[in-house]
Amino acid sequence: MTFKERTAIRLSDGRELIYFNEEPHSHRAEYPDTRHLPPPPPASQLRYDPLVDEWVAVAAHRQTRTFLPPSDACPLCPSTPSFASEIPAPDYDVVVFENQFPAFSDRIKPDELGHSDLASLTDLVPVRPGIGRCEVICFTSDHNGSFGKLSPSRVRTVVDVLADRTAEMSTITGVAQVFPFENRGVEIGVTLHHPHGQIYAYPTVPPRTQQMLRAAGRYRSRTGRDLYTDVLAAERAAEVRVVAANEHWTAYVPAAARWPYEVQLAPHRKVPDLPALSDEERDAFGPLYLDVLRRFDALFGKPMPYISAWHQAVVGEGRELGYLHLQLFSIRRAADKLKYLAGSESAMGSFINDIVPEKAAETLRSL
C-alpha cells in the first residue's frame, strides 16, 4: 500500500470517516467534527419491478442533498476556522467517509423498515430495505483540481484506497457487488465540483452486471473460455481501436461502443477486483489512465464531462466470471453538442451511437 497511515474517526452524527495519509504521523484524526448534525436518514426501500426483473431503490431523503454550493462552503474541502466541512482536518491526502445522503446503508437494521408504508403495494412487488453502504472518496484537498491533474503517485494511492474499501465493503452482510465510480462535470449531473468519487455497495446485482454475467456464462458454456479475456485479446491483436497501452494495461474503444467517446482500460491479467491487482499493475494503471484523461480533455479543448466506472466481480454466485476493468465515457459528442438519452435509449435501452468507434479511437490516438 502506498498510504503510510490509515486512521478512522466518527463524525458528529456517527458516520465513519477514514484518512489515508501518504506520510505517517499526520495527526489529522485528532481534529473533531464541531458540527451538530441530525442522525443519519432512514433506510431506503428496494422495490421489485416484476415486468423487467429488476430492483429499484427509493431514497426520498436524497432529494435534500447539497447542490452546487459556493467554493467557500464546499463540504469536501478541509475545514477552516470559518467553515466546518465534512472533513474536520485542515488538510488531507485522500479521505473516505460515509455519504450523508446514502442510497444504501449498513447502519439501519432490516426490521427498522416500517411495514405501514407498504400497504398499497401488490403481491407482485415485494419491498425490502436498502441494506448496503455508500461512501464518498475525495482524491485531493485541492478544490480546483481534477483527477486528470493528479500525480501518478496519488493515483496509486487512490487505487490502493479503492482496493481497501472494496475488500472491507464486500464483507458486509447482504452486499452483492462493490462499485467505485466518478462523475465529472455539470453536464453529467454532479452536485459538488470538488474532485471526488463514490463507492456503492449494492444489495442486489445491478442490471448491467446481470447482463454481463449472463453473456459470460453463455460464452463459457459454449466454448469453455473466458469472454472478457478473449475480447481483450482480440482488441489487442486488431489494434485499430486501441488508444494506448503499456506492459500491464490496454485502453481501447469497444467495437460496439454505446457512447460517443468511450474507452475501457483493462489489465492484461484476469483479476476479479481491485484488491487482486499486483503492485506492478497498480503502478502501471495511473500513467495510462492519466494519459487517456488528458486525451479526453484535448478532444474539444475544454474539460470533458465523463463517468468513470470500475466493473468488478460480484461477491457471490458468478464471481468467477468477473474480469476487472474500468469504463470511461462521455456524453459530449461535439464541442457544442451532448448526447441525450432520449426515446430509444431511455425508454427502450437501445443505444444509437453518433460516432463510429474506429474513428473515435483514431481521434483519441492522434491527440
What pLDDT, on a 0 to 100 scale, did the predictor assign at position 336? Answer: 96
- State the Cα–Cα distance between residues 206 and 146, nearest whole angstrom: 28
> Nearest-CA neighbor of 5 among 198, 156, 161?
161
Q: Which residues pair with 98 in a beta bridge?
A: 135
Domain 5-204 has CATH 3.40.50.10330: no
Exposed/middle/buried for residue 93 (C-beta within 10 Å: 0-12, 13-18, 19+) = buried
pLDDT mean by block of 10 residues, the chain; 367 residues: 96 98 96 96 91 95 88 96 98 98 83 51 89 97 98 98 98 96 96 97 98 98 98 98 98 98 98 98 98 98 98 97 98 96 95 97 97
Right CATH number for 208-366 from 3.30.540.10, 3.30.428.10, 3.40.720.10, 3.10.310.30? 3.30.428.10
113-122 pLDDT tens trace: 544 455 458 8
Domain limits, the chain: 5-204, 208-366
What pLDDT, on a 0 to 100 scale, did the predictor assign at position 119? Answer: 45
What pLDDT, on a 0 to 100 scale, did the predictor assign at position 1? Answer: 86
On the CB side of 50, CA atoms within 13 Å amount to: 7
- State the Cα–Cα distance between residues 220 and 229, nearest whole angstrom: 11
Active site residues: 196
**CATH topology match: 5-204 vs 208-366:** yes
- State the Cα–Cα distance between residues 44 and 132, nearest whole angstrom: 10
